[in-house]
Structure formats: C-alpha cells, structure tokens
C-alpha cells in the first residue's frame, strides 16, 4: 500500500486545491479552513501578491548559493527588523531556526546549559527535540543534547532556575503544540528581567506565533519584551519553506564566516514569497487581525464556553485553543464531516489557526459548526 514511513496518522483525503479560506479534496469536497496548514498559509491559499511574487521569481532564478550577495535576503531582513540593531540568518524551517539559536547562544556566551519549559515544542532535530518537553516526541531517540533542563511554564517557580550558568532560556509566548497556552505578560516580563540580571540570553520561539498570527508581527511585541534572539518560520513565506533567526547585532562575532550555514536557506523563491508576505503585514492589517480576534474570542466565550464538553478557552489573536473534557481526535474528525478543518494540540485541545484573511462571517460559520459537534 503506502510507500511512506507512517510518521503521520493521516486523514484519508488529499487536499488538491485551495482558494481564499477554502480547501478542496480529491473527492471534490470543499472545507472551510481553520488551520492555515498548521499556521503556515496565514494569508490563505490564493494570495495574489504571493502567487505573483513566486511565479515571477521562478521565471528569473530560484536558487543561487549563499556565497553570493542577496538583495532579496537584505530586503526580507529589513522588513523583519526595520532599523533596529539586529541581524537575520535565513534557513528552511522552524527546527533549523531553533537549532541555529542554540548554536549561536552557546558560541556567543561560551556557556552550554539551556533552560526550556514544560509543554514546550521547538522541533524535531536533536537540539530542538532536546528542548521539547514531550516524552512521546523524545522517546527512543536518546541520548539527547546534554545540559538542557525544564522549568514550569507560566509559573513564578521557574524564576530560581534562571541562573548565571545558563547560556539561554528558550520559550514560546503562546505555546502552540503544547495546548495553546498563553503566558501572562507579568510572567514573561519577570523571566526577561531575570535573564538580563543573570546575563542569560532570552530566545523567543515565534515559529507559530510570529508573522501576524496574534495581531502583532511577533507575539512578544504585545508585552514590550526585548529578546536577544527570535526564531520564526511557519507563516513567514505563506507555505514556501523558510525559517529565520533574528538576533542582536552584538552576537555577530559568534556567527562568522564558516561557523554556520545552509544550502537552501534564504533561497530566492522563499525570499520572494516572504517579501510579499511581510509587505502585507502592515499596521492596518495587524489591527484588522486584532479586531477579528476580539470577535472570535467573544464568540467562543458566548457560544462554546458554556458547553459541558468545554473546560476553558485560551489563546491570543487568531490562535485559540478550546480545552475539551472529551478526546479531541473524534471532534476533529466529526468537524471534517461538517466540512470544517481544525487542529488538535496537547491535553485534548481543539486548536484554531484560521487564515488571518478570514472574515467574521466565516468565523461565525465555523464556530457554529464547532458548537453543533461539541453539543452532541
């Protein structure tokens, strides 16, 4: 039968086309999408500017090596950091961005220990995997990268674990895979302050929360944090594989020529797509995301929170988790029968990551379907 390693428990339909916030499968069924891939196609599946940028770039050139100057990389870096004293390294994925962050933190500080948090997810390669608190994801792959420890997320009890012997602390502002858990602004600020006091680098993983998902370019901007390193990927190029590490310019000496690199990272196709994405994430667009998010949060509270199958609702922006008292798997499948695509996350969380371009009418249609399924 399948010639593929069974690394995914795949649903039995193949999505073959997409338009706006709708996806159509190989049986000609059309779904309203509350997933954006997994927080990837944030501008929907037929964004004209991204389509044009990728098509035009494909006609010119899609790859040169990183041995040559790249105006496109410079353009995307400028869109990411503005005139802040920061530098960017481009790679191909979230896990690669976190891998680069771990390497940069160790080399720049001359220290090796890293603190991550309970229910974290940072990716599947060895460094990222070692910083991921999920026994199911780590099992059988040891020995992992040494000197990585964990502290309780969004809990003041974590603060004493931030000590001067650490190279870095890595965290998500809203944990995605871990169950759509937002940290409080107060806790995030206390972690940032302790890192600064102990001269520990703060790495914020914005792979899922970045690129407008929460109504800011990056979620940490809601709280005025000043991370030393930020990683991002998923939504950055609306589906063309890309990752990025953004770091304080003071770290530059640790990433000197030959110390780190990638063949495909920052290729011209991905950069053309990322440039088209970031150009659209204007203050006005982000304000619209916040307005839609407020609408969605209100709707989830009034329509879903009272249900017996719902234990609570958490999230930030258009990243929302409905914590269920029933197993989430059958709920996702039942919603597919109702032509709505949703995601799950840890701890029986129904995770919603709709395209940022979704309308309030489409949000209301989707929430009505969820209410119908969760009321059964």
Ligand X SMILES: *Cc1c(COP(=O)(O)O)cnc(C)c1O
Q: Is 211 in the site for ligand X (CB under 6 A)?
A: no
Query: Minimal distance in Å, beta carbon 355 to ligand X?
Result: 17
Task: Check whether 185 is labelled as a binding-site residue.
Answer: no
Query: Minimal distance in Å, beta carbon 175 to ligand X?
Result: 7
**Cβ-proximal residue to ligand X, closest one:** 94
- CA dist., res. 54 & res. 63, Å (int): 12
Q: Which residues contact 333 (CB under 8 A, 6 or more apart)?
A: 11
Task: Check whether 263 is labelled as a binding-site residue.
Answer: yes
Which residue pairs from 53-58 have beta carbons closer than 8 angstroms and sit at least 24 positions apart in sequence?
53/272, 53/273, 53/275, 53/276, 54/240, 54/269, 54/272, 54/273, 54/276, 56/272, 57/268, 57/269, 57/272, 57/273, 58/269
How many other CB atoms are found less than 10 A from the CB of residue 285?
15
Which residue pairs from 78-82 have beta carbons closer than 8 angstroms and sit at least 24 positions apart in sequence?
79/274, 79/275, 79/278, 79/279, 80/244, 80/246, 80/278, 81/246
Piece in contact with ligand X (CB under 6 A), picked from 48-56, 116-124, 311-319, 334-342: 116-124
- CA dist., res. 230 & res. 206, Å (int): 7
CA angle 119, 122, 123 (to 5 degrees): 120
Query: Minimal distance in Å, beta carbon 72 to ligand X?
Result: 21
Piece in contact with ligand X (CB under 6 A), picked from 13-21, 117-125, 272-280, 306-314: 117-125
Size of the site for ligand X (CB under 6 A): 15
Q: Is 239 in the site for ligand X (CB under 6 A)?
A: no
Piece in contact with ligand X (CB under 6 A), picked from 59-67, 93-101, 284-292, 317-325: 93-101
Q: Is 208 in the site for ligand X (CB under 6 A)?
A: yes
Query: Minimal distance in Å, beta carbon 95 to ligand X?
Result: 3
Contact with ligand X (CB under 6 A): which of 122, 194, 213, 222? 122
Region 168-207 residues binding ligand X, contact defined as CB under 6 A: 172, 176-177, 205, 207
Piece in contact with ligand X (CB under 6 A), picked from 83-91, 119-127, 274-282, 366-374: 119-127
Is 354 or 362 the residue whose CB approaches ligand X more closely? 354
Contact with ligand X (CB under 6 A): which of 93, 336, 342, 357? 93
Which residue pairs from 290-295 have beta carbons closer than 8 angstroms and sit at least 24 positions apart in sequence?
290/215, 290/317, 292/318, 292/356, 292/358, 292/360, 292/363, 293/214, 293/215, 293/317, 293/318, 295/360, 295/363
Task: Check whether 121 is labelled as a binding-site residue.
Answer: yes
The two beta strands, 86-91 and 340-341, are unpaired
Contact with ligand X (CB under 6 A): which of 54, 233, 328, 370? 233
Query: Minimal distance in Å, beta carbon 316 to ligand X?
Result: 13
Is 27 or 263 the residue whose CB approaches ligand X more closely? 263
How many other CB atoms are found less than 10 A from the CB of residue 161?
15
- CA dist., res. 24 & res. 261, Å (int): 38
- CA dist., res. 65 & res. 125, Å (int): 23
Query: Minimal distance in Å, beta carbon 242 to ligand X?
Result: 9
Annotated binding-site members for N(2)-acetyl-L-ornithine: 124, 262
Annotated binding-site members for pyridoxal 5'-phosphate: 94-95, 121, 205-208, 263
Annotated binding-site members: 94-95, 121, 124, 205-208, 262-263
Interacting residues with ligand X (CB under 6 A) = 93-95, 98, 121-123, 172, 176-177, 205, 207-208, 233-234
């Amino acid at each position: 039968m399948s010639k593929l390693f069974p690394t995914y428990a795949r649903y039995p339909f193949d999505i073959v086309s997409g338009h706006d916030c709708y996806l159509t499968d190989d049986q000609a069924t059309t779904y309203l999408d509350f997933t954006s891939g997994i927080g990837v196609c944030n501008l929907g599946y037929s964004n004209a500017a991204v389509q044009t940028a990728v098509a035009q770039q494909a006609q010119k050139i899609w790859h040169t090596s990183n041995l040559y100057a790249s105006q496109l990389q410079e353009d995307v870096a400028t869109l990411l950091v503005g005139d802040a004293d920061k530098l960017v390294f481009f790679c191909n994925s979230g896990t690669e961005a976190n891998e680069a962050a771990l390497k940069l933190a160790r080399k720049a500080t001359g220290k090796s220990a890293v603190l991550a948090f309970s229910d974290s997810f940072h990716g599947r390669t060895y460094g990222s995997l070692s910083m991921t608190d999920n026994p199911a994801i780590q099992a059988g792959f040891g020995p992992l990268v040494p000197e990585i420890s964990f502290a309780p997320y969004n809990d003041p009890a974590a603060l004493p674990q931030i000590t001067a012997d650490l190279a870095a602390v890595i965290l998500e502002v809203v944990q995605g895979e871990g169950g759509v858990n937002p940290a409080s602004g107060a806790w995030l600020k206390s972690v940032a302050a302790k890192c600064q006091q102990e001269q520990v680098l703060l790495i914020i993983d914005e792979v899922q929360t970045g690129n407008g998902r929460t109504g800011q370019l990056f979620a940490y901007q809601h709280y005025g944090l000043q991370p030393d390193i930020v990683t991002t990927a998923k939504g950055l190029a609306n589906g063309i594989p890309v990752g990025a590490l953004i770091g304080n310019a003071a770290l530059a000496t640790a990433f000197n020529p030959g110390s780190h690199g990638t063949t495909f990272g920052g290729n011209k196709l991905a950069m053309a797509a990322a440039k088209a994405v970031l150009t659209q994430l204007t203050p006005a667009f982000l304000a619209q995301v916040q307005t839609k998010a407020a609408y969605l949060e209100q709707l989830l509270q009034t329509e879903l929170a009272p249900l017996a199958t719902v234990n609570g609702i958490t999230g930030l922006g258009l990243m929302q988790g409905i914590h269920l008292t029933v197993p989430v798997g059958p709920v996702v499948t039942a919603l597919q029968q109702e032509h709505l695509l949703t995601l799950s996350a840890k701890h029986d969380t129904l995770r919603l990551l709709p395209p940022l371009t979704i309308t309030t009418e489409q949000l209301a249609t989707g929430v009505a379907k969820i209410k119908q399924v969760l009321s059964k």
